Every structure is written in structure tokens, then in C-alpha cells.
Amino acid sequence: MLVLGLETSCDETGVALYDTGAGLLAHALFSQVDIHVEYGGVVPELASRDHVRKVLPLVQEVLQDAGRDERSIDAVAYTAGPGLAGALMVGATLARALAWGWGIPALGVHHMEGHLLAPMLEEESPPFPFVALLVSGGHTQLVRVDAIGRYRLLGESLDDAAGEAFDKVAKMLGLPYPGGPHVARLAERGDASRFDFPRPMVNRPGLDFSFSGLKTHTLNTVAACTGDGELTEQDRCDIASAFEQAVVSTLVIKCRRALRQEGLKTLVMAGGVSANRYLRAELKRALAKEQAAVFYPAPVFCTDNGAMIAYAGAQRLAAGQFDEADVAVRPRWPMDELPPLDAVGAVQ
């Protein structure tokens, strides 16, 4: 089955072509960072308008790169949620229009299921069951995964997601949007031992997260260092390093706790923050002590992309799941509402 995947949930337009027999044939991505950077965050209306401009040309580019035409496509998968309503509608309406015009089925895919399954695009994919850490600008969740569609939420952030906290700390340090990569680069030159940053909620039972207090602690540290003057470059590096270490340490502690609680030895990490090199290194080091393995997608597939949507959609479409003709998106969509892969039939 050859599936065209469209991702337009936020500020990146992704298109990919995935074949269930041959794997990923082609993919293309356009990031809107340059559009939103002057506003310090995503402007939903601008995001939607740019998806309108970019998504169809990217479809044509991917088909050309793969050496295929529309007659060879068997189905279309698109991000139906969660995400920005207007941005989601762009991908959904185009996907439904293409599917109707080509006489093929279409399926709305859960954005976070796409992230969760992105490591399956690699040559060495994780075996079921496993614990997944989904960590991005909008989500920080630990999920037990027994099979595609069989998910149980173990813990999540009670306030800011980890990626959101990175972006807000970046603003405090005078760094541009998106902040995560800039904070990580500063942290490489910093001395985290200069400050004592808390590891929130690690000394209480459970697998939930909270990063709002850590964000406030960072703001107070910036204020203390500023005084009557300005932050020095070393101040910024040291604060970035202390903050990054606190976030990573918290994530690692909760991941180890989740694996022990579930009696599993496999962790999957996905989402934009999973590209953080320090986080990858610390998880690998910590899980080696547990004789556990960690899997994550290639950096290009950590952020929003069409390949993960095409793959996730292909698995469900191949099992007989599809959407009815009406177009519906879900800006808020709990992942545990997804049907198991073996629930064959129309997905309402």
C-alpha cells in the first residue's frame, strides 16, 4: 500500500510517501520558523496561511522525488489533531479533496501517535511492549505501549511541557524562537554546578511532571544575576546548562521509574525535544545500568514531519481503518481514545 502523508498541525508543513512494502520513498518539510521568529512564537493565522501556500507544492515535490504519480497512490493520511484548528483544517481539507478526486480512502492520524511510531522508520525498530516518552513543545507524557492503538497513559506534565519550558527560558535569556536548540547550544559552554536547580516532583511517587516551578526558579536566577547590570555571556551559558540538566535529570528519573513500574526494558523517545543530544546521552547512560534499551527517530523525524503521519496512517489503513467523507479535526484529542489496530472498520 502506497500512502501519502500530510502534516500541518502547527508551524511545519510536512509531506511524505510511504510504501508498506518498500518503506519511506520520499519526504519534504518546510519550516515556518522565519515567519514566526519576530513574534517570539507561533501565530496561528499566519501558520494556516503558509500551510495553504506550501502543502500542495510539497505534494508535487514528493511525488516527483519518488518517481510516482497520483495514480499509484492507494490512500491519503493526514494529521487530524491535536494541533491548531486552522492549520489542521488545511491538511484535512486537502487530504479529503485529493482522496475524493483520486477515488481512494483517507484517514485522520493522531499527531502524537505519529511521533510515538516515528522510531519505526529506522532500520532497528523497538519491539512491543515498551514505554514511550513523548516530549515536545506541547506534550510531555509517559505512555505504556502494548501495540499500535493499545496505549495507557502513565504520567504527563501538569503544567508546561518540557519543550514549552525550554522556549520560555530561551526568552528569559534573550534567545530567539524556537528556543530549545539555542538553549542547548548555550548549555554546551556552561557550568551547571554554579547553580542549584530543582528536579521537580522526583521526590514524590508517580510519573507526572511539572516544569512551571523550574521555569520560575530560572527567572529568579536570571534576576539575581542581572542585578543593576546585564547578564554576561557566561551567566547565560551557566543558567542554560543548569536548566537543561534539571530538565534532563527529571526526565531520566521518571523514565527509569516507569520502566521499573511496568517491568519493561525498552524505552522509546519521540517528539521535538528528543533531538536534544544531552538528553539522548543521559538516557543511554542511565538505561545501560538498567540493562534497558532506548530507541528514538533520526533527528529529521523528531520534529513534526509527514513521514511519521504517512507511516502511522499506513498501519491503520492497511488494517482496514478509514474515515467517512466528512472533514473533522480535533485540536484536543486524548491518545487513549484511539481504537486498537485490530478494530477494523470505519473510524468515526
The annotated binding site for Fe cation is made up of: 111, 115, 304
Please report the sign of the dihedral spanned by the C-alpha atoms of residue 116, residue 64, residue 322, residue 12.
positive
Q: Is the distance from CB of 31 to CB of 11 less than 8 angstroms?
A: yes
Q: Which residues are annotated as a binding site?
A: 111, 115, 134-138, 167, 180, 276, 304
Buried b (16+ CB within 10 A) or exposed e, 83-116: bbebbbbbbbebbbebbeebebbbbbbbbbbbbb
DSSP reduced 3-state for 7 = strand
Task: Report residue 206 as a C-alpha cell.
Answer: 508517580
Compute the C-alpha angle 71/73/74, nearest 5°: 115
Cβ count within 10 A of residue 263: 7
DSSP for 284-298, please give it. HHHHHHTT-EEE---
Q: Which residues are annotated as a binding site for substrate?
A: 134-138, 167, 180, 276
Please report the sign of the dihedral spanned by the C-alpha atoms of residue 235, residue 238, residue 242, residue 248.
positive
